[in-house]
Amino acid sequence: MTVNLTSPGLLTRIRQSDLWWSFTHQRSAVLAAILLTVLIVSAFTAPLYAPQNPYDPAQLELWNAEIPPIWLEGGQWPYLLGTDTQGRDILSAILYGSRISILIGIASVVLALIIGIGTGLVAGYYGGIVEDALMRVGDILLSIPTILIAILVSAIVRELLPPSLRDVGAGGVLVLAIVLSGWVQYARTVRAQTAVERRKEYVQAAQLLKVPARRIMFRHILPNTLTPILVAATLNFGMAILTEATLSFLGIGMPPSQPSLGTLIRLGNQFLFSGMWWIVLFPVMQLCLLVVSVNLLGDWLRDALNPKLR
């Protein structure tokens, strides 16, 4: 899909669209969009203002461990939300952790989209053996529960990586683990739609005019399959963040040296009963806010794009 941002009337077109109407008339969707924007922007600009870089071990000072949030007795500037047992500033850790979670979420959705759309188009357009082979691979991947694939892949790939690459590669391994079963859904949707579109007259006309297959697929067929894909991608973004958090919580995701939200929850969980509730509560809240806002948006998008529910 190519969107020409400079074309005149784009804003007006958006404003007059059904989608925009539905968006502005659903408070939860607006709220979710604002919240999500704030979360993403704050996470990615964190290095500019966060009191600490939680990935730099030299900045962690054991002296400053276990400081409570600033509004409690013993709270200290600049540790607004307190510190953990290593002297890591919770606010900074959450912001940097969100950044990792969001990056992994985006990377895995984008990669899954690329693979899924590509596979789906090829399978749907050419049909026959190509279709059978590609879709069978998808069937097999869907025959194993997603979480199991993710755990196995991340555990095994990490084991196979040389030790020096394990921390650096942890994020990549997680993306791979999530993508491996994530692309199938897109591929199936696109294939089904492509198979239908292929038989339509406009495609046959294009074929007669000897328009290259690639061009037909991307310029003509793809745009017509995008609606369900968009909804699925939004919801899967939330799922990817959850899967990443779950793997990190189980101890096979991001390492403690570059904690994601799941890692922070895993580490903080040990201090649930020792009175240091802030170590685990704030990462939990951040994770929930993030996923809730994504899911609210996705939910609204699904309803808004579903002609039956209008």
Partner 1 sequence: MIVFLIKRLANAALVMLVVALMAFMIFRFVGDPIQLMVNEQTSQAERDALRERLGLNESVVMQYLRFVGNAVQGDFGISYRNQQEVMSLIAERFPATIELVLMATIISLVVGVPLGVITAIHRRKWYSEALQFVSIIGVSLPSFVIGILLILVFSVMLNIAPAFGRGDVVSIGWWTTGLLTPSGRAALILPSIALSFYQITLVMRLVRAEMLEVLRSDFIKFARARGVPAWRVHYSHALRNCLMPVVTMTAMNIGSLIAFALITETVFQWPGMGLLFIQAVTFVDIPVMAAYLCIVSFIFVALNTLVDITYALIDPRLRNSKA
Partner 2 sequence: MILRTTLLAGVALACLATTGTAQTLRWGAARDINSLDPYSYGSTFTISFLNHVYEGLVRYDADLKIEPALATEWEVMPNNIWRFKLRQGVKFHDGAEFTADDVVASLARVSHPDSPLKGNLPAYKSATKVDDYTVDIELVGTYPLLLNDLTNIHMFDAGWLKEHNAEVPTDVAKKVEGYPTFNANGTGPFIVESRVPDSKTILVANTGWWDAPKHNLERIEFTPISSEATRVAALLSGEIDFTEKAPVQDLPRLAAAPNVKVMEGNELRTIMFGFNFQDKLHNGEPNLFKDKKMREAVGLAIDLNLIRDKVMRGKSRVTGTVVAPAIPGYDPALDTPPAYDPEKAAAMIKELGAEGYAFEIMCSNDLWVNEEEICNALVSMLTRVGLAPRLNIAPNAVQQVKLTNGEADMFAFGWANEPMLDSYSILLQTFQTKSENAGVFNWGGWSYPEMDKLIIAASTELDREKRLALQSAALKIVKDESIMLPFHQQPMAWATSDKVESVVQLSDNKGRHWLTRMAE
Binding site for partner 1 (CB under 8 A): 28, 136, 139-140, 143-148, 151-152, 155-156, 159-160, 238, 242, 245-246, 249-252, 262, 265, 269, 272-273, 280, 284, 287-288, 291-292, 294-296, 299, 308-309
**Residue 269 C-beta: closest distance to partner 1, Å:** 6
Q: Pick between residue 103 and residue 281 the one whose CB is nearest to partner 1.
A: 281
Pick what 14 binds: partner 2, partner 1, none; C-beta below 5 to 8 Å, kind-dependent: none
Q: Which residues bind partner 2 (CB under 8 A)?
A: 56-63, 65-66, 85-87, 163-164, 166-167, 251, 255-257, 269-276
DSSP state of 17: S
**Residue 244 C-beta: closest distance to partner 2, Å:** 19
Q: Pick between residue 54 and residue 298 the one whose CB is nearest to partner 1.
A: 298
Residues 6+ positions from 68 with CB-CB distance below 8 Å: 74, 75, 82, 276, 278
Pick what 129 binds: partner 2, partner 1, none; C-beta below 5 to 8 Å, kind-dependent: none
Pick what 145 binds: partner 2, partner 1, none; C-beta below 5 to 8 Å, kind-dependent: partner 1
Q: Pick between residue 239 and residue 261 the one whose CB is nearest to partner 2.
A: 261
- List, as one string, the DSSP characters of 40-59: HHHHHTHHHH-S--TT-GGG
Nearest to 159 by CA among 149, 173, 145, 171: 173
- List, as one string, the DSSP characters of 267-298: HHHTTTTTT-THHHHHHHHHHHHHHHHHHHHH
**Encoding tokens for residue 166?**
């394990």
**Residue 162 C-beta: closest distance to partner 1, Å:** 14
Nearest to 244 by CA among 175, 297, 146, 148: 175
- List, as one string, the DSSP characters of 67-111: PPPTTSTT--TT-TT-B-TTS-BHHHHHHHHHHHHHHHHHHHHHH
Distance from CA of residue 263 to its chain's centroid? 17
Q: Pick between residue 163 and residue 307 the one whose CB is nearest to partner 2.
A: 163
Pick what 56 binds: partner 1, partner 2, none; C-beta below 5 to 8 Å, kind-dependent: partner 2
Pick what 270 binds: partner 2, partner 1, none; C-beta below 5 to 8 Å, kind-dependent: partner 2
Q: Is the peptide bond before 78 cis (omega within 30 degrees of 0)?
A: yes
Q: Pick between residue 79 and residue 278 the one whose CB is nearest to partner 1.
A: 278
Q: Pick between residue 35 and residue 70 the one whose CB is nearest to partner 1.
A: 35
Which helix (H) or strand (E) covers residue 194, if one does? helix 163-198
- List, as one string, the DSSP characters of 132-176: HHHHHHHHHHHTS-HHHHHHHHHHHHHHHS-HHHHHHHHHHHHHH
Pick what 287 binds: partner 1, partner 2, none; C-beta below 5 to 8 Å, kind-dependent: partner 1
**Residue 278 C-beta: closest distance to partner 2, Å:** 14
Q: Pick between residue 32 and residue 50 the one whose CB is nearest to partner 1.
A: 32
**Residue 9 C-beta: closest distance to partner 1, Å:** 35
